[in-house]
Structure 1
């Protein structure tokens, strides 16, 4: 597996270097765990570092675990470095996300990084989700392979949320941009949210649709979180002003920051990442969504790539006889096209 990851990891590192050389670094101040977060569940499975600036969350036979921000936020930039569990991780879900589901049960908003474990020898995948005002039946999921091994060292994952834009970042490279639009309507997250990190047993869906379950022989599953950053408008629940009025100054600061601006260099890095590493897009999933979302930008060149399921459709291998026909066709009578594609 490591050999196959080297070229992609090298290209991603090169993209990071190019972006860093051409754009200002984010330089976001980080905080100690207890200055911005508190345990959410499984407190015995939450282990702070000696200096209090990093934390491990653990899933074992007894419980998963997670933590939650001490404050509600209305827009901002939220990031952390994460190192994922190794070995066999099928069924394991690690998440870094924003939500207000505990406050608005029927019309909640949510922005997710979800890391989906895999069987031994197979890579982790990461999924981003965007839900607004309870739009869970209209999930805007995208899924990607990571161009590096997230079990070897920590990488930075960030969510930018403003009144007009959502950007997901990996190591300062934007991988997804969602712009507020009339077509998206009320599905754009619009209410204050908390920030969460969790590790839990998602055996019923996380790996091959639930085909591969957690094997607790490989427990404990440990995920490391460091470089904790919460840069946004902390809401005062006693303040009578509405959220947008309370957050005018903080919103202006967020909108002027480097992480809110996608330069041409960063946009090219984002497009390159998506071309090479995106393996599922809700915009092309005709089986789940027969009517394409009005805010989707459907590209004709990608329809074949993603098929009707929204998953990347790799070319089937040709039998030896077909390979011979293909070589012979190139020599004089035209190429014999491959037939059939297989869903991943």
Structure 2
């Protein structure tokens, strides 16, 4: 079953990757397409100095280092009123407990108390255990109503680059890994201002989160394994550049938003929807939508899947304390094809 699932994901990824950045927009008056952006043209360093943020000679790849002195981070030079934000990322290997690698959009620097945010957060691992990660979103400062989901992966993200994408339009938000959609949030009237609506910048960081990242802070960063290095390449920014203080619904932004609504990333195919359903059934180990202790009534954007509902306890976690997926390890069987044990401790 699990081999079939991996094969299904791999075939879908292979077919759809041929479309990446090549499929033109439809229904728009221009043919502007997402494209890879050199670091100097689209980004600026946040912290880390010259020793912790290193750029490749072609300015297409960035290495972010974490050591006992500091981490590293960068952000987009501009803010965007909706957009497609993407990068191919390779995470640190070996023992990486306590480390967080974040790839996210935010406007917290401008709207401190009413900020919006969309997150990929990779939460570190003990050697031999999987990297866990979560997606989350906040709208209009709704930090008390975090909407996080947590997962493991069907591959080892430290062995090779994989593309992580956030699509944010006026009607929906979709998180992708490679070409597989893993989460979709649709805007509705009941969501109201909790749906992110103000211009955001793209951020990428690596930092020490020993107090919470791995098993609720049980395992800390061990700097004898430093430096911890994450690599990001083929960065993509596509959206309407906006000044958050000015009027948002400008004519140019409306045109770009129309493009985003018709881009192929915005239209999940039946095969992609099947792959997303399988991913969520097999690899999601926490969802706020099924956490009835936290939310007696699911938030309005939640779409309850009866199959997943049967698997999850009232705390939003799988019914069994541990789920073990085991299969034989053949010679030269690479780690990326293994199914990991999913722990339920943090």
* Residue 57 to residue 101, structure 1, CA distance change in 2 (3 Å): same
Does residue 290 in structure 1 map to residue 296 in structure 2? yes
* Residue 185 to residue 33, structure 1, CA distance change in 2 (3 Å): same
Does residue 302 in structure 1 map to residue 299 in structure 2? no
What CA RMSD, in Å, does the superposition of the two structures yield over aligned residues? Answer: 2.2
| Between 271-280 and 150-159, the greater mean CA deviation after superposition | 271-280
Does residue 249 in structure 1 map to residue 275 in structure 2? no
Deviation at 1:6, TM superposition (A): 7.4
Aligned residue for 2:98? 91
Deviation at 1:297, TM superposition (A): 1.9
Deviation at 1:241, TM superposition (A): 4.1
Q: Name the CA distance, whole Å, in 1 between partners of 2:306 and 2:262.
A: 35
Deviation at 1:10, TM superposition (A): 4.1
* Residue 212 to residue 179, structure 1, CA distance change in 2 (3 Å): same
2:69 to 62, 84, 95: 62
Q: Describe the superposition over 1:227-273 as per-residue Cα deviations: whole angstroms up to 9, x where unpaired.
A: 100011112579x5434544012112222211111122221221122
* Residue 64 to residue 33, structure 1, CA distance change in 2 (3 Å): same
**Structure ranking higher in helix proportion:** 1
Give me the TM-score of the superposition, normalised by structure 1: 0.85
Aligned length: 313
Deviation at 1:16, TM superposition (A): 1.5
Q: Name the CA distance, whole Å, in 2 between partners of 1:316 and 1:47.
A: 40
Aligned residue for 2:125? 118
Q: Which has the larger radius of gyration?
A: 1
Q: Where in structure 2 are the equivalents of 1:306-325 lying within 5 Å?
A: 306-314=312-320
Q: Describe the superposition over 1:290-343 as per-residue Cα deviations: whole angstroms up to 9, x where unpaired.
A: 3322322223432341201112233779xxxxxxxxxxxxxxxxxxxxxxxx95
Aligned residue for 2:331? none
Report if the CA contact (8 A) 2:181-2:272 is conserved: yes
Q: Describe the superposition over 1:182-230 as per-residue Cα deviations: whole angstroms up to 9, x where unpaired.
A: 2222110000001000000111111111111111111111000001000
Aligned residue for 2:185? 178
Deviation at 1:275, TM superposition (A): 1.4
* Residue 151 to residue 297, structure 1, CA distance change in 2 (3 Å): same
* Residue 6 to residue 103, structure 1, CA distance change in 2 (3 Å): same
Report if the CA contact (8 A) 2:5-2:278 is conserved: no
Give me the TM-score of the superposition, normalised by structure 2: 0.85
SS in 1 for 2:122: strand
Report if the CA contact (8 A) 2:322-2:344 is conserved: no
Report if the CA contact (8 A) 2:291-2:317 is conserved: yes
Report if the CA contact (8 A) 2:186-2:301 is conserved: no
Report if the CA contact (8 A) 1:12-1:147 is conserved: no
SS in 1 for 2:183: strand
1:127 to 127, 134, 142: 134
Residue segments in structure 1 that go unaligned for 5+ positions in a row: 318-341
Report if the CA contact (8 A) 1:91-1:204 is conserved: yes
Q: Name the CA distance, whole Å, in 1 between partners of 2:303 and 2:110.
A: 32
* Residue 270 to residue 316, structure 1, CA distance change in 2 (3 Å): closer
Q: Describe the superposition over 1:85-138 as per-residue Cα deviations: whole angstroms up to 9, x where unpaired.
A: 001011000000000001001010000000110111111012100110011111
* Residue 18 to residue 269, structure 1, CA distance change in 2 (3 Å): farther
Q: Where in structure 2 are the equivalents of 1:111-260 lying within 5 Å?
A: 111-236=118-243, 241-260=247-266
SS in 2 for 1:62: coil
Report if the CA contact (8 A) 1:95-1:197 is conserved: yes
Deviation at 1:63, TM superposition (A): 0.1
